Structure 1
Amino acid sequence: MDMLDRMSKASSDLRAGLTQEAADKATPHLREMLRCVAVAITDEEGTVLSWDGGANDHYEYLRDTVARAINNCHKEHVDHRKLGCELQGPCSLHSVVVVPLVVEGDVAGTLIVVSGVASKRQIRMAEETARFVSTQLELEVVQKQRQALAQAEVKALRAQISPHFVYNALNTISSLIRTDPSHARELLQEFAEFTRYSFRTDGLFTTLADELTNIHRYLTIEQARYGARLSVRLRIAPEVLQVVLPFLVLQPLVENAVRHGLAKKPGGGMLTITAEDNGNEALISVEDDGVGMDPDRLDDIKDAHQTGAHVGIGNINDRMRTVFGAEYALVVETAPNAGTKVILKVPKFARNVLPNLNIGSQMTDEPMTAEQPAVRA
């Protein structure tokens, strides 16, 4: 149990990357795991980031050995007699194993294990520990790559925000300036807040409350345009409002429901947004009773990242799968003339998924919370 505890603590420390601070935290746990004289970690240049234990004054004798391990990407094992140690009498640096730390095919540093006794078992344990350290460092690299991908996907989704909506929103506002200037000012403020939120530059995640607030702004503008043709029904459980989800995943679904479901239906129809507490998950759905579509088209739409046919469906599906796992892919139910329902499952707790508090703290609108009846403009 102590070994597992040490591995867990070292794993957590190394997820921060190969830095001096991370190495200082990890080396004591690694030394306890190996039960050796000392453990050290170097960077790819051979500079010691951390040395825990004795014999740290002997590193000068190890420089060539460390350099060979880095240059050859191969473990090096030397004993006291080959190091040129000038110490008279017993030396704690009896056996040294230097193993390169390989991350995505490149040497990122080395693990140095100093032992009082040379043995094949100690060499094997040093190699296994180095493999463990390398794996943790690779996981940190993968996490950074995932974050970079998520940022790129958010930028791509922003680029897909319908220019038709922007044009129509401004056109609706301008038409009200003379007839109802007060309403025009309100809509202009909603439009400004909508664009500020949608094009924010920081944060990959947000709360359901903030996402719903932005949807409220979007629908306020669309209801001014469509009038009685657009009805909205909300069924939002207050206990899921603080659930964290990827930024800008719901508004595009709502926009698709309005543009492709209800706007094409004579007389318009009903948009229903639901968020329910489902144990360890929040169950969210966006449903319209519009024109629907052929279910056979769903695979093409989910794969359509660059077209404007359905705003960002493929993007949102990929982001949900990347952040939470394949089991959190979008579920779409539809049929011709039977409307469309998009369902998202969002875990209440997920590793490295935190809201951008700066944006959230600036939100002043009350989020849509409890069940509300149909609203007609």
Structure 2
Amino acid sequence: MSPALQITLIATIVAVGIAAIGYFGFKISRSTKEMGTDADEATFTTLHHMSIAVPHLEQGLTREGAAKSAKALRRLLNCPVLLITDTRSILATDSGIEFTAALEEEAGKAYSTALGTGKTQVNRSSGQDFVAAPIMVGDQAVGTVTALTPRAGAGFVRAVSEVAVFVSAQVSTAQLDENKAMLLEAQMRALRAQISPHFIYNSLNAIASFINTDPARARELVIEFADFTRYSFRRRGEFTTLAEELEAIDRYLLLEKARFGERIKVSLRIAPEVLPTQIPFLSLQPLVENAVRHGLEAREDGGVISITATEDGLYAVIGVEDDGVGMDPEQLASVLAGTTANMHVGLRNVDVRLRQLYGNANGLIIDTAPGAGTQITMRIPKFRPRRPASIED
């Protein structure tokens, strides 16, 4: 074979090879891009629109949240008009066409019936259908998702119903958060009610006893009493710092010492690094009050209350210990379970609040026995849990 023919043959082989590589590379590239099926793409699109809607529904059915979520839900259903209503009116309208008064009237017929029956309704009129599906909280319709489409087939009706179920789940969660907040507020009021009659009566009696014998001491105690009650009945959120709670406890113990004198001794061991820790408001003071009322008051010679706070990784570990009369563990279990009334109410309320805020693993840890004193420990995460709304007491 001549050199010229060899060169020609080699060049041809190289050209064919390059063409083959290019062809298979193109096919591989196309197959990579087409790895997702139409069903996969639809799923991802659905999840995307739902993820956009979720944050705006976390506060329940509000006008602002409905307005922001309606846009994503209309894209999800791919319909010309989508409405979100409550039981009285339209909260939000997202429309790709002019939403006329006539359309609003037709929509009203659909969502009013859906609210009344608690079932998805279709209002058919010339050339367009409104599908209204109820937003349910429990067995009660609290609103609707209402969508306009040229012709509502079974698939579209089912899709609107499923979107309403999705919205119902978000609204129900918001309702549970609101109920939880209301329960926490009720427990806070119960703690304040516990403080009011017993502590106020005894403190005023103690102050009165010094008016004639030691007026300066009486004035000092009046100031401490005013500061403590101002803190206890403040109208701010449900959290405070450990430092603020300890200041209130110091005032409380000064007033109790006015009654008991040297019968009550206090030991404090507080790590400075945990002082800024956010703790539930009135969570530590009831433990100290329990130590005084149920631990030391029954002893003629009183005793010692030890308050400690240390850092343990992501937690602040806070303890209140007394060497008083102690408690029966079985009776204590009944108190914490809520089956024994009018005893150690503060302990139960604090325990319930801690579990609601931080989970069941973070309730009070109590070690006690008759005649052996009581040691109460709580572990507070250094982070504050997210609340659905601030509670003003």
TM-score by length of 1: 0.80
Residue 241 of structure 1: how far off its partner (Å) = 3.2
Provide the secondary structure at the position in 1 that maps to 2:244: helix
Distance across 1 between alignment mates of 2:96 and 2:196: 64
Task: Confirm or deny: 8 A CA contact 1:76 1:99 kept in the other structure.
Answer: yes
Contact in 1 for aligned 2:325/2:370 (Cα 8 Å) = yes
Give the one of 158, 178, 189 matched to 2:192: 158
1:352 equivalent in structure 2: 387
Unaligned runs of 5+ in 1: 86-92, 360-377
* Local SS of the residue matching 1:313: helix
Residue in structure 1 matched with residue 76 of structure 2 by the alignment: 33
What letter corresponds to residue 350 of structure 2 in structure 1? Answer: I
1:83 matched to which residue of 2?
125
8 Å CA contact 2:290–2:346 kept in 1: the answer is no
Query: Mapping of 1:103-182 within 5 angstroms?
Result: 103-115=137-149, 120-161=154-195, 163-182=197-216
Pick the aligned partner of 2:116 from 71, 93, 103.
71
TM-score, length-normalised on structure 2?
Answer: 0.77
Inter-CA distance 33–84: structure 2 relative to 1 (3 Å threshold): closer
Q: Secondary structure at the match of 2:195?
A: coil
The reply to whether residue 294 of structure 1 matches residue 328 of structure 2 is yes
Which is further off, 336-345 or 232-241? 232-241
C-alpha distance in 2, partners of 1:259/1:236? 23
CA deviation vs aligned residue, 1:163-204 (integer Å, no higher than 9, x gap): 443333223323333443322221110011112222335543
Pick from 257, 264, 267 the counterpart of residue 233 of structure 1.
267
Matched-pair identity in %: 43
Aligned-partner Cα distance in 2 for 1:355–1:145: 13
Task: Indicate whether 1:338 and 2:372 are aligned.
Answer: yes
How many residues are treated as equivalent by the alignment? 346
Separation of aligned partners in 1, 2:153 and 2:315: 51
What displacement does 1:146 show? 2.0
* Higher fraction of helix: 2
SS in 2 for 1:138: helix
* Residues 145 and 4 (structure 1), Cα distance of their counterparts in 2 relative to 1, 3 Å cut: same
Q: 1:171 to 1:61 in 2, by over 3 A?
A: closer
Structure 2 SS opposite 1:107: strand
Distance 1:34 1:170, change over 3 A: same
Contact 1:305/1:315, CA 8 A, preserved across alignment: no
Structure 1 residue 100 corresponds to structure 2 residue 134: yes
Deviation larger for 185-194 or 255-264: 255-264
* Structure 2 counterparts to residues 212-291 of structure 1, below 5 A: 212-291=246-325
1:369 maps to: none
In the TM superposition, what is the alpha-carbon distance from 1:24 to its structure 2 partner? 0.8
Q: Which has the higher contact order (CA 8 A, sep 6+)?
A: 1
Q: RMSD of the TM alignment (CA)?
A: 2.9
What is the one-letter code of the residue matched to 1:42?
T
Find out whether 1:319 has 2:353 as its counterpart: yes
Q: Report the Cα distance in structure 2 between the residues aligned to 1:2 and 1:241, rounded to whole angstroms.
A: 48
- Structure 2 distance, partners of 1:147, 1:329, is 18
Q: 2:61 aligns with which of 15, 18, 36?
A: 18
Task: Say if 1:273 and 1:3 are closer, same or farther in 2 by CA, change over 3 A.
Answer: farther
Pick from 83, 96, 108: which aligns with 1:54? 96
Mapped partners of 1:295, 1:310: distance in 2: 13
Following TM superposition, by how much is the alpha carbon of 1:3 offset from its aligned partner in structure 2, in angstroms? 4.9
Q: Give the SS at the match of 1:160.
A: helix
Assess, with a 3 A threshold, how the Cα gap between structure 1 residues 313 and 77 changes in structure 2: closer, same or farther: same
1:275–1:283 Cα contact (<8 Å) kept: yes
Alignment counterpart, residue 191 of structure 1, candidates 212, 225, 233: 225
> Residues 35, 184 of structure 1: CA spacing in aligned structure 2 closer, same or farther, 3 A cutoff?
same
